[in-house]
Amino acid sequence: MKSGLEALLEQVRERGHYGRRPEAARAVESVLDVLGAHLVGDDRSDLARLLPQQCGPLLTDGSPASEPLTPRAFVEAVAARDHGDFGEARRAVRAVLGIVADVADDALLRRILTQLPPGHAGLFGRMEPV
C-alpha cells in the first residue's frame, strides 16, 4: 500500500506524464511553494491538512509574495524556481493544481481562487470558479 506522499507523487507522475518519480516530486515542490506564497490565513493551512504531511511546509513555511501573479506569471514563477522552461512549468502546474482541485472541496477551492487574480481557475483544471 502506498503512503499518502507516494500516492500523490504517482498521481502527479501520471497527470504530468513524467517518466520518473523525482520529476514529479520536483513539480510538487515547485508548484506548492509558489502557491503557498500566494495564499494567506486558514486557506493555506486547510489545504495543507488535505495533502500528505510532507507537503504542508511547502504551503505554509514560505514568505508571503509581495504581489499577486497573473496565471502566466504564476507559471513563470514555477519555471524560475525550478530553472525549467515555460512549457515544463505549465505541465507541472496543471498536474499539481489539478490534484489540489480534486482534494479540496468546492468551498475551499473557491476561497483559494478568490485569493488569486482572475484566470487561475484554468490552472486548476476548472473553467470557472466553483
The predicted pLDDT at position 97 comes to 97
Taking each helix axis from N to C end, the angle separating 41-50 and 106-115, rounded to the nearest 10 degrees, works out to 130
The predicted pLDDT at position 110 comes to 94
Q: Is residue 48 part of a domain?
A: yes
Q: Is residue 124 part of a domain?
A: no
Q: pLDDT by residue (tens digit) across 115-124?
A: 999 999 999 9
Query: Contact at 8 Å (CB) between 63 and 37?
Result: yes
How many structural domains is the chain composed of?
1
User: Virtual CA dihedral for 48, 122, 17, 4, nearest 10 degrees?
Assistant: 20
Q: Is residue 125 part of a domain?
A: no
The predicted pLDDT at position 112 comes to 95
The predicted pLDDT at position 1 comes to 36
Q: What is the rounded distance in angstroms from the CA atom of residue 41 to the CA atom of residue 79?
A: 26
40: CATH: 1.10.490.110
Q: What is the rounded distance in angstroms from the CA atom of residue 66 to the CA atom of residue 49?
A: 25
The predicted pLDDT at position 51 comes to 95
The predicted pLDDT at position 16 comes to 95
Query: Contact at 8 Å (CB) between 112 and 104?
Result: yes
The predicted pLDDT at position 83 comes to 73
The predicted pLDDT at position 37 comes to 94
The predicted pLDDT at position 2 comes to 53
Q: Is residue 126 part of a domain?
A: no
The predicted pLDDT at position 63 comes to 85
The predicted pLDDT at position 128 comes to 64
Structural domain boundaries enclosing 15 = 4-119
Q: Is residue 71 part of a domain?
A: yes
Spans in the chain with pLDDT lower than 50: 1, 130
pTM over 0.95: no
Q: Is residue 89 part of a domain?
A: yes
